[in-house]
Structure 1
Amino acid sequence: MSIDRETFENTSEEELTDLSVPDHVLGFLVAHDDRAFQAREIAAQTDLDEGAVSTALTRLKQRELVEHKATYWAVTTDEDRLHSYGGYERATALFNERLGAENKDEWREHAPDEAHPSLRDEE
């Protein structure tokens, strides 16, 4: 996954290596907790390799942090389980530090009613 030059210059090496692929995937799914995605969609949205995303999803499912149905993946609705995962805490802290804490109600107020065409199933 690429990062911008400012992040490269202003972020410590430790911070840059803190987030694993599963942490990135889980962070993406948490940020979009009202939707389910195919692995290829997650890979495209996070700039990660699709094979790495699939492996991460399988590992997250084994830890019961994501749910899987057909070809779709979603973050668990078990808040206690989610909060007990150390990677979740690291990802949330890093994203909040870089981008500021997210106000989900404010975000949903401005979210589009329909998914972007690239996220819709092709029939």
Structure 2
Amino acid sequence: MSIDRETFERSEAGELTDVSTTEQVLGFLAANEDRAFKASEIAARAELDVGSVSTALTRLKRRNLVEHKGTYWAITSDEDRLARSDGYERATALFNEQLGPEDRTEWRAHAPDEPHPSLEEADRDR
């Protein structure tokens, strides 16, 4: 995965090697939680080796952190399970450091007025 020049300049070597391929894959899927991808797409977009991505996805599936259908992979919708994952926490911290934390009010400002039909009543009140 590439990083911006500013992050490169201000980071120590150890900070830049701490995120594993598995954590990068998990972070990529978390950042794109509304989509599912083929392993080759994840590899290309995250600038990783496709073999390493496939291995990482298999490990993440064993830990129930990703879902797999056909040739597609997506992050789990089990937010509690993700919150308990060290890799997710580290990947989120890295992305927050590089890109800044997400602002939920900004997300809500761009959200559609009507909830997606697949959401149940309980989900609509969040």
TM-score range, shorter chain: 0.7 to 0.9
Q: Does 1:35 align with 2:38?
A: no
Amino acid at match of 2:87: G
Of all paired residues, the percent bearing the same amino acid is 67
Question: Bigger radius of gyration, 1 or 2?
Answer: 2
Cα contact 1:37–1:73 (8 A) shared by 2:
yes
Question: Which deviations, in whole Å up to 9, do the C-alpha atoms of 1:15-39 show, x marking residues without a partner?
Answer: 1112100111000101111111100
2:98 alignment counterpart = 98
For residues 75-94 of structure 1, the aligned pairs below 5 Å read 75-94=75-94
3-state DSSP of counterpart to 1:35 = coil
* RMSD of aligned Cα (Å): 1.8
- Measured in 2, the distance between the counterparts of 1:38 and 1:105 equals 31
3-state DSSP of counterpart to 2:91 = helix
**TM-score, L = length of structure 1:** 0.80
Shift, 1:5, TM fit: 3.7
Question: Which deviations, in whole Å up to 9, do the C-alpha atoms of 1:8-66 show, x marking residues without a partner?
Answer: 22111221112100111000101111111100111111011111111100000011100
3-state DSSP of counterpart to 1:26 = helix
Q: Does 1:52 align with 2:47?
A: no
**TM-score, L = length of structure 2:** 0.78
Query: Which blocks of at least 5 consecutive residues in structure 1 are unaligned?
Result: 111-123
Query: Which blocks of at least 5 consecutive residues in structure 2 are unaligned?
Result: 112-126
